[in-house]
Every structure is written in C-alpha cells, then in structure tokens.
Amino acid sequence: MIDLYKLQWSHYVEKVRWALDFKQLPWRGIDIVAFTKKEMRRFACAQTVPLIHDTATDVAISDSSPIIRYLDETYPEHPLLPAEPAQREAAWQWMLRLDSTLGLHARRLGYTQLIMECPQTLSALFMPQVCGGLFTRRGWRSIAAPVLGAMLTLRFRFHRNRQDRVYEALEAQLLPIAAHIERDGFLVGDRFGAADITLAALLRPLRIVPYFSHHPRLQSLFAWQQRLFREHGRDAAFPYESLIQARRQRCGHMRGRVGWMRQAPEVPALGAAEPVAAPLERANNDIQPVNRWTLLRGLPAYLKLRWFGGVGRVRYEPAAFASG
C-alpha cells in the first residue's frame, strides 16, 4: 500500500494520482491541513505536497516527478518512463521543466482567477476542516477570503504577475508545445508516458483562466488534455472549476481581457518545443515566506489584485474545446 499525502485540488497531486492509477498500484489518500502539514512531520524528506510513503519499502519521498521516477524504478510493470536512455532522459527533463514553469505559472494564474472572480472558494480549498468547517459556511466565507487571499498573494506573488510577465512566458511556452502535440501526439516518443501526464495534469488550473482556455491557438492542446482525461478516467472537472463556471453562468461574464498583452508570439518551428536549456537536476519552486507581520502588506495587494489587476471583464462563453 502506498500512502499519498495530498491536497485534493492540487495539480501536482493529480499528476501522482494519475501515475499510481496508470501503474495499477494500491494506494490510499491522506488529506493534510494545508497550513500546518502536521500529518507529514514524521517523515525525514522535504515536507512538500505531494508526498508518498511506500509501506512495503518504508520509503518516503516528496515532489511529483521524483515520486513518479521512484514508482517506475521500484514497480516496473506498466512503465511510464521510456526504456531507451536518451528518451528516458528527455522525458525526465520535460517533467522537471514543466514542474518548474507550467506548473508554477498555472498555479499562480489559477489562484489569481479565483481571487478575481470567486474568492470565497478559497475557504473550501484551504479550510474545510478548520473549526469544524466553520469558514466554509455562508457569511464566514466572506471573512476568510481576504485573509486567505492576502496570504496566497504574498506567498505566490500574484500581485506581480504583470511585472514577472507570467502570462507572456506561459503563452510563449505553450504555443510550441501545442504545435508539437498536434504533430506527434505525445511529448516524447510514440506512446503515452510520464511527460504527457505531467503536461496534462499541470495544465488543469488554466482551464479556468480565459486568456488561455479560450486562446484560439491552444484549443487543440486543451482538447488533447480532455481526451486523455476521458481515456484514463480522470475527473472531468475539479470542484473549483465547477464553482467558477457556475458563477460565470449566473453573472454572464468572466475576467478574461488582459489589458497589457499584445499579439501572441510566432510559433517556433515544429520540434522546437523540446527543452534546450541546461539539464535540470530537480524542479524549482516559487513559494515565498509569509508571517503574521508581512501578512499585513498582503491585504492591499490582494484588494488591488481583486479589483484593479488589469484583467477586465468579457462576456462569458464556454471554451471551444469544452463546447465542441
């Protein structure tokens, strides 16, 4: 039995769940308290989510890509990484780079979208067990939202999305990847594997970010993701996706006009989507320290992001990949 310590909505956790299911390994999920992670303190590895404890080997390991590599090496049946060394290394580099770029940027922009449109959802994600679920109830959600939003804004630099050029960097990355997938169907080789799980899972938060979910040149990529979800029995939508879509349908609008963006970059030649930078040894992260004093600075940043973030309203309509 493999114990998976998880946050249910995390796209990095979904990546590991998908790998465990694909490899047909027995596992059980253990929900953690996001703020304390007290359930994981007994393990000597880094206290990051996801984390697995393999009860058969007594190995505890965190971070989604090292977890998948461990699973593939320890349980070789139903392999996710290619056997050929060059392709295996290519897949590994894809996983680390997507973890360090797409995964982080999608997290930033997904949370940003929730703060702008549906901030009360945050208490359902982060505080379902706190005080018996008090802060998930009507009225209390409104009290919790600014506090959670301020903390997250500082922790993940949402208020600096424009300065950090997150939208631009992500668009420049995804356009050649979409062309690559259209041509080859998979990131590495001619079969589904760990790199494809990484791409499809880490794309999930962008399904609620209209700039990307409605991008005309990315519809094929989201359609590819949706097809994999169906074929592999993944959740069609996480709860936060359903909640924000329901709100958009009621209100008739969404925040999707990024005021500072210009024309999308030209797509590089097919095949140029492959990583070309220096090889990575581990994935990067972007979490910033937050304490009770710096949190005071987070409230103005949260309010500015919520109301004056430079992302304007547009009429709500489903994305082409979802409606067709």
Convert the pLDDT of each residue in 154-198 to its tens digit. Answer: 999 999 999 999 999 999 999 999 999 999 999 999 999 999 999
- 318's CB contacts (< 8 A; 6+ apart) are none
Q: What confidence tier does 286 reach under pLDDT thresholds 50, 70, 90?
A: confident
Q: What is the mean pLDDT of residues 228-241?
A: 95
Q: What is the mean pLDDT of residues 4-16?
A: 95
**Pair 200, 236: CB distance under 8 Å:** no
**Res 276 pLDDT > 70:** no
Q: d(Cα 300, Cα 48) in Å, to the nearest integer?
A: 28
**Percent of the chain with pLDDT strictly greater than 70:** 93
Least confident interval from 65-69, 218-222, 223-227, 304-308:
304-308
CA distances, 158 to each of 112, 126, 198, 213, 247 (Å): 6, 17, 23, 19, 22
Q: What is the reported pLDDT for 267?
A: 63
Q: What is the reported pLDDT for 272?
A: 42
Is the preceding peptide bond at 205 cis, omega within 30 degrees of 0? no
Q: What is the reported pLDDT for 135?
A: 63
In terms of DSSP bridges, do strands 27-31 and 2-6 run parallel, antiparallel, or are they unpaired?
A: parallel
Averaged confidence pLDDT in the chain: 91
Domain ranges of the chain: 2-80, 98-323
**Res 304 pLDDT > 80:** yes
CA distances, 313 to each of 205, 249, 254, 323 (Å): 19, 14, 5, 21
Q: What is the reported pLDDT for 127?
A: 76
Closest CA to 8 of 33, 25, 27: 33
For the domain made up of 2-80, give the CATH fold. Answer: Glutaredoxin (3.40.30)
Question: Which residue type, as a one-letter code, is found at position 143?
Answer: I
Closest CA to 23 of 66, 57, 69, 59: 69
3-state secondary structure of 270: coil
- 199's CB contacts (< 8 A; 6+ apart) are 94, 98, 102, 177, 181, 187, 225
Q: Which helix (H) or strand (E) holds 306?
A: helix 295-308
Q: What is the reported pLDDT for 217?
A: 95
Burial of 48 (0-12, 13-18, 19+ CB in 10 A): middle
Q: What is the mean pLDDT of residues 137-150?
A: 85
Give the tens place of pLDDT for each residue, 14-37. Answer: 999 999 999 999 999 999 988 778
Q: Where are the alpha helices (DSSP H) in 85-193?
A: 85-100, 102-117, 121-126, 140-156, 166-184
Q: What is the reported pLDDT for 270?
A: 46
Q: What is the mean pLDDT of residues 268-287?
A: 69
Q: What is the mean pLDDT of residues 110-119?
A: 96
Would you state the structure tokens that stand for residue 37, as one six-digit string? 């992670």
Give the tens place of pLDDT for each residue, 33-73. Answer: 887 788 999 999 988 999 999 999 999 999 999 999 999 99
Q: What confidence tier does 271 reach under pLDDT thresholds 50, 70, 90?
A: very low
